[in-house]
Amino acid sequence: MVADWIYAEPIGLYVIVDVDVDGKTVETLEMTRKKPAFKAAGTPVAKALEAYFRTGSDEVLRGFDFDRTGLTPFRIKIMEALRRVPAGETVTYGELAAAAGSPGAARAVGNVMARNPVPIIVPCHRVVATNGLGGFTGGLDVKRKLLRLEGAEY
């Protein structure tokens, strides 16, 4: 595993990413206000994240995958379905459940989003409630900033 980080100015946070030795499988992604103590390595995923935060386009992130180790088949289906939602668009918890083949599982989708180890790579900020923003582990302010960066209306 290789750890790297960037400063994401649009959200005012450091983004720390752990990537597998293959350089393409993201194991964890964390957003924090505290600057990491280790030197940034300039990995391809960090460069792709910098481009994402510059442009709001997630095309640069499409070449990276998420680590499926320990994930249930249901979680994998939900996370894969969410990766198909383009930047600038949102989906409700219920719509995402249906898109993943589990209509009526909106609550379970919420649980999957709350435990997403790789936000942005699996863009849980794009999942909203039918009556508003819903939740986000990084906080609603960060969720709004990410949606605005991508051109979504929130």
Helix residue ranges, H only, 22-127:
44-55, 73-83, 93-99, 106-114
Q: Which of 121, 124, 142, 149 is catalytic?
A: 124
Residue 133 · residue 144 · CB < 8 Å? yes
Residue 9 · residue 143 · CB < 8 Å? no
Per-residue CA distances from 48 to 11, 62, 112, 145 (Å): 16, 9, 25, 18
CA nearest neighbour of 49 among 61, 39, 37, 59 = 61
CA gap 145, 35 in Å, rounded: 20
Active site residue 124: yes
Name the pairing type of β-strands 65-66 and 91-92.
unpaired
Q: Point out the residues that are catalytic.
A: 124
